[in-house]
Amino acid sequence: MALVSVSSSSIIVRFLPTIPAVIIAFWRMALASAVLWCYSLIKPQGRFPPEHRQTVVLAGICLGCHFACFFGAVKLTSIANATVLGTIAPVFTVLIEAVFLKRKLSKQILLGIFTALIGAIIIHDRGFNLLENSAIGNSLALLGSFFIALVFILAEKIRHNTSTVVYSRTIYFFAACTLFVLSFIMGKSVFSFTQIDFSLFLFLAAVPTIMGHSVLSYIVKFIPPSVVTSVPLGEPIIASFFALVLFAEQIPALTFLAGFFIFIGLYLTISGGIRNQNYYKPV
């Protein structure tokens, strides 16, 4: 359910061509948070644990930056490229776990990371010229993967004693605050949209956010972040298929080749991580 739900976000963004990426991301987070807070009024969920407040603020900032980068990538490069590069978060997650959390990495994990990075380089076959829109979009997608990896690393600790609804409504709120500040800095008005645009914002809040990311937040309590971030790996396939059907957007042959390397690399990374990671499991 999480995979199908999150795969719809890049398609919806294409139906909002005149709305800046940061504004789309703001309303997605703000409305999702509002829905969960309203649900909490009807069915009380408890308070957020005070010991995790600083951590959830940081996680919210990272989540806001993730969506700003990902939506920006969708507007600047193909959906196939944006979703392929936007789902290599497990590579970053495993690296963070190894370097900062001192979790051991097997040779299989290292091989997987190397293979996935080859795929990322193939997508940049025209070089790293930041003056080209496609290069900027690809770079934003990679940066978005890094931010979402940080989110789930931080979420692992928070979810130890925090319910999914309490965690989700809080992190979405701080993500919305982050995006509001970014929109102000960029000189974008968060109130410049039509009624149809707002209905699409509601869809983004309900489906890819609450039914997608909130489900992933639930999962991270029981399995390590590197596995959780692997769930959206099927997103490039689903999103690219709908992009072909809805927008007649052809998928370049090199994207298929790059996707093959990325998927093989991530399979090695994740399967090796499941067997070898030394992570705490909440009771």
- Tens-place pLDDT, residues 10-46: 788 878 888 998 999 999 999 999 999 999 999 999 9
pLDDT in tens, 157-188: 899 899 999 999 999 999 999 999 999 999 99
pLDDT in tens, 54-107: 999 999 999 999 989 988 888 888 777 777 788 788 888 888 888 888 877 678
Q: Where are the alpha helices (DSSP H) in the chain?
A: 2-7, 9-14, 21-42, 53-76, 79-85, 89-99, 107-123, 133-158, 164-185, 195-204, 214-219, 225-228, 235-247, 253-276
Q: How far apart are CA 169 and CA 30, in angstroms?
A: 9
- For the residues 217-238, what does the mean pLDDT come to? 77
Most confident of 73-82, 151-160, 201-210, 230-239: 201-210
223: helix, strand or coil:
coil
Amino acid letter at 149? A
Q: Which of 166, 143, 15, 132 is nearest to 67 (CA)?
A: 143
Q: How far apart are CA 238 and CA 108, in angstroms?
A: 28
Q: How far apart are CA 22 and CA 174, in angstroms?
A: 14
Say which residue the tokens 């407040």 belong to.
53
User: Greatest CA separation found in the chain?
Assistant: 53
End-to-end CA gap in the chain: 25
Mean pLDDT taken over the chain: 84
Give the start-to-end residue ranges of the domains of the chain.
2-276
Asked whether 74 and 10 are in contact (CB, 8 A), the reply is yes
Burial bucket for residue 156 (CB in 10 Å: 0-12, 13-18, 19+): buried
**What single string gives the DSSP state of each residue in 155-198?**
HHHHTTSS-HHHHHHHHHHHHHHHHHHHHHHTT--TT---HHHH
Q: Which of 174, 161, 140, 187 is nearest to 63 (CA)?
A: 174
- For the residues 267-283, what does the mean pLDDT come to? 60
- If one compares 62 and 7, the residue with the highest pLDDT of the two is 62
What confidence score (pLDDT) does residue 132 get? 56
Tokens encoding 74: 């969708």
